[in-house]
Structure 1
């Protein structure tokens, strides 16, 4: 099952070099496993790291719990990480390699499918997998989709490290009228001289178009990709709608993303003066509607589509709609913001609570900027807030 000697030593060194062993869950990985559950109709999906002692579940889908470890020699993923591609077990009870493992006898797993995740040096350091309590095999389309999700996960693994320093002068705050008493405000702080995040807004007729995106990686290359995408979206007519605009921009950017092995998570929306929001979400999933009343729950605009560079631009992204009421606020962030807290989705909900407690959006953004200055955040930070009507 496992390799040995120098080859395995190199692989283990790469696992250690990820810096993720012993760390807790993070939304940048959780959103991938959450989407894998939905798209592959699997109640269980995990992102794991595998060394020679244990399997560490980096994305356990249990909020607030530390990443669990399982002893080496008991998991499907050990076969996956030492393989060359997708590893599938249609019926674990009938497979002598797994019939007596804890996953089968204690947790009721019947079928498994996983892909290895490779670090930048090509070494397999972990897996992305789905499991089901019934015997089943993935369809050809599902195998392709699991591979796409795996490429996304690899990008997050590779993009998690960096050695740039934070620039202290990269903030920006802007405002534009949405309705008679509404505004768009944004804060952007780069992790270096150039940000790989992008945010944009543009008023056209009776609507405003807003964008928040995050290019994998940091520095000049990520910044150039962000600027190219921003320009591509701006060149598309706002009347065509967010889905068409994104498809056009993505098709133009796709060859460059492919050559770099990069991807972009993105939220792109058109908000008219009635408060109707038409949007597309390319693997972003970090946008909330915060109702005016504290008694009403916050709504997260979940994503079921993959990022640019992972999803085929020709297939496009699904347009969705939501309605803002007077006094409601839309907030969209990049995942660097989550590092101000515990890096999980709960930290986004707590950020919404902070927004509700502030009398003005400007004060809220100033508070975020102050926290970034003192926190050890190793990523670009962007927050965009649309206040519809009076707050």
Structure 2
């Protein structure tokens, strides 16, 4: 099995996808609330970009974003194989990248060059069934070492995001 096929299979695990389908991710009232969480985390952590994202089987869908422009903003996401949040989802725990230019795992990721990503810190969005649905993260254009305090801010935002999402559960 090739790497991309394996990735899609892991992300597309049926129970996880069923949980994602339970939420009204396209509800018009949801985006503004998630964007407020992203903006708050970006400001608290002095980061140019912050996201609240759901990672589907083949795409990252931005529920809320701060500092995102261009085609990513217009498309409301990226391919899953390019999304750093995919690593957070698959790990099921915080995932940090100090400097993408020196990291062998991410060296060939075209998204990092496209938008100038150098560092990333993300925490998982875990629903009440224990499934990791997405991530809340900050992204910086400079190398950065993330602290426990940084992760605490992100965990707080993730908790808020899941609390809000629970009100958008459709079944």
- Give TM-score scaled by structure 1 length: 0.38
Matched, 1:107 2:115: yes
Deviations, residues 239-280 of structure 1 (Å, cap 9, x unaligned):
xxxxxxxxxxxxxxxxxxxxxxxxxxxxxxxxxxxxxxxxxx
Residues 63-102 of structure 1: pairs in structure 2 closer than 5 A: 68-102=76-110
Contact 2:119 2:139 in 1 (8 A): yes
Residues 280-295 of structure 1: pairs in structure 2 closer than 5 A: none
Matched, 1:121 2:132: no
The CA deviation at 1:159 is: 2.3
Contact 1:47 1:127 in 2 (8 A): yes
Q: For residue 43 of structure 2, what is the aligned residue in structure 1?
A: 38
Q: For residue 18 of structure 1, what is the aligned residue in structure 2?
A: 23
Question: Which one scores higher on RCO, CA 8 angstroms, separation ≥ 6?
Answer: 2
Contact 1:116 1:125 in 2 (8 A): yes
Q: 1:23 to 1:94 in 2, by over 3 A?
A: farther
- Give TM-score scaled by structure 2 length: 0.82
Contact 2:61 2:77 in 1 (8 A): yes
Of 131, 143, 167, 2:139 maps to 131
Q: What is the root-mean-square deviation of aligned Cα atoms in Å?
A: 2.6
Q: 1:59 to 1:67 in 2, by over 3 A?
A: farther
The CA deviation at 1:162 is: 6.1
Larger CA Rg, structure 1 vs 2: 1
The CA deviation at 1:21 is: 5.1
Return the structure number with greater helix share.
2
Residues 177-256 of structure 1: pairs in structure 2 closer than 5 A: none
Contact 1:24 1:67 in 2 (8 A): no
Q: 1:24 to 1:103 in 2, by over 3 A?
A: farther
Q: 1:155 to 1:95 in 2, by over 3 A?
A: same
Contact 1:59 1:67 in 2 (8 A): no
Q: 1:104 to 1:24 in 2, by over 3 A?
A: farther
Between the two proteins, the alignment pairs up a number of residues equal to 161
